[in-house]
């Protein structure tokens, strides 16, 4: 039987991922470990394959957002420490976290008491991580209550404080005023506990942007997500470390036709042909993760040549003006994100067109697009 050809797919360059990991390790302070953030299916790249690759390339631990994400990694045989960045607030969650040997984030003393009671009943000790709010106004105990928080958790049985951490709200901003204020608060929080009779926990504050921008934010480990996948949190950080995009998106031409002047294209006829037009239909749409709001603003590459998308992007298909490629045939490959000859289209291009961020673009590619791993890195 002839092998079925995919209409659209995502390629994941594992060697680029490994190289990004190594490049980030190079810029870290000598004592600083790398925690790879692989939440949201590793930003759409595939959590298991990404976790295996970054751990082999030098990451010492992983971070995810939900219990289910941690279970997936454990079921795949990944044994590295895994921090759950999200809040875990029920006994059932804590029981599962203990079973799968994951490590929860504790955001307040009352949750810590519930976790300790659960672990006492299970007769187990659980590593936990304490989250401080230094200015994100999201999860965590206020930084000025750090001593009270740490003291109360340290006195609970069956819990081991592995780390104390916070999250930066504006690390990608060239204006570092707010980031510096958060660091000042974090330092104040640390000072509150330096004389407590407890084992010294690890400290971490930096995300990708802060890890790249300033070594003073490195502490004992950094939590790096976007940079691993080859994208920069902000343009001004690009000169500081060489990164290669890991993800590319391709689709195939499913039909080619010529339409006469005055013909409308796709739903709502948002595009009208002004002359004879060569149109290619491509088998990918918003149900795959190509935002409908890119309609009539998207450019793709065929044979190393940029061509415009026309009409409304539909659930499963989109249309291109391929009048400059008169011999285009069904089955030819269209590059939506990636490198095609001298043409490079990045998630940043899409994000800028939409007024959003590249994180959202990467996480938007749906699972009906197969992930194809290429360039398996060599083991050290």
Angstrom distance (rounded) from CA 207 to CA 293 = 29
Residue 366: both structure tokens together: 């749906």
Angstrom distance (rounded) from CA 4 to CA 369 = 14
Q: Are the CB atoms for 284 and 7 separated by under 8 Å?
A: yes
Task: Tell me whether residue 373 is exposed, middle or buried, using C-beta atoms within 10 angstroms of its C-beta: 0 to 12, 13 to 18, 19 or more.
Answer: middle
Dihedral of alpha carbons 181, 105, 137, 193, sign: negative
Backbone angles phi, psi at 132, to 5 degrees: -110, 140
Say which of 26, 240, 257, 267 is annotated catalytic.
267
Residue 121: both structure tokens together: 């009943």
Angstrom distance (rounded) from CA 191 to CA 102 = 28
Strands 8-13 and 33-37: unpaired
- Our answer to whether residue 39 is catalytic in this structure is yes
Say which of 39, 43, 165, 229 is annotated catalytic.
39
**Exposure b/e, 98-113, CB count within 10 A at least 16 = b:** beeebbbbbbbbebbe
Q: At what angle do helices 91-99 and 109-122 cross, to 10 degrees?
A: 60
Angstrom distance (rounded) from CA 90 to CA 94 = 6
Angstrom distance (rounded) from CA 325 to CA 126 = 62
3-state class of 33 per DSSP? strand
Distances (CA, A) of 338 to 83, 249, 297: 31, 7, 17
Helix and strand counts by DSSP (H, E) for the chain: 11, 20
Angstrom distance (rounded) from CA 206 to CA 6 = 40
3-state class of 50 per DSSP? helix
Q: Which residues are catalytic, by number?
A: 39, 267
């Amino acid at each position: 039987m002839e092998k079925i050809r995919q209409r659209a797919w995502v390629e994941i360059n594992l060697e680029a991922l490994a190289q990004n990991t190594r490049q980030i390790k190079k810029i870290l302070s000598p004592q600083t470990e790398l925690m790879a953030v692989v939440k949201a299916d590793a930003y759409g790249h595939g959590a298991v394959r990404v976790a295996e690759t970054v751990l082999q390339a030098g990451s010492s631990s992983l971070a995810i957002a939900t219990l289910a994400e941690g279970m997936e990694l454990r079921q795949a045989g990944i044994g590295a420490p895994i921090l759950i960045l999200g809040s875990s607030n029920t006994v059932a969650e804590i029981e599962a976290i203990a079973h799968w040997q994951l490590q929860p984030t504790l955001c307040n003393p009352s949750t810590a008491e519930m976790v300790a009671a659960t672990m006492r009943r299970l007769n187990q000790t659980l590593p936990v991580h304490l989250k401080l709010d230094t200015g994100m106004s999201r999860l965590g105990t206020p930084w000025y209550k750090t001593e009270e928080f740490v003291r109360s958790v340290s006195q609970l049985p069956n819990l081991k404080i592995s780390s104390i951490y916070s999250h930066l709200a504006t690390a990608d901003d060239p204006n570092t005023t707010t980031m510096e204020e958060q660091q000042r608060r974090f330092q104040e929080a640390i000072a509150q506990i330096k004389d407590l009779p407890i084992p010294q926990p690890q400290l971490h504050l930096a995300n990708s942007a802060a890890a790249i921008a300033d070594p003073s934010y490195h502490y004992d480990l950094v939590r790096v997500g976007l940079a691993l996948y080859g994208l920069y949190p902000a343009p001004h950080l690009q000169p500081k470390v060489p990164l290669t995009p890991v993800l590319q998106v391709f689709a195939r031409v499913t039909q080619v036709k010529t339409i006469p002047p005055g013909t409308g294209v796709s739903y709502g006829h948002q595009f009208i042909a002004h002359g004879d037009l060569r149109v290619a239909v491509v088998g990918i749409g918003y149900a795959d993760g190509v935002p409908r709001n890119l309609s009539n603003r998207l450019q793709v590459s065929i044979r190393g040549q940029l061509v415009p998308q026309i009409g409304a992007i539909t659930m499963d298909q989109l249309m291109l003006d391929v009048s400059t490629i008169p011999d285009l045939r069904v089955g030819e490959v269209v590059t939506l994100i990636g490198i095609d000859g001298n043409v490079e289209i990045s998630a940043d291009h899409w994000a800028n067109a939409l007024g959003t961020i590249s994180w959202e673009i990467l996480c938007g590619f749906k699972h009906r697009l197969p992930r194809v791993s290429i360039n398996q890195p060599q083991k050290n």
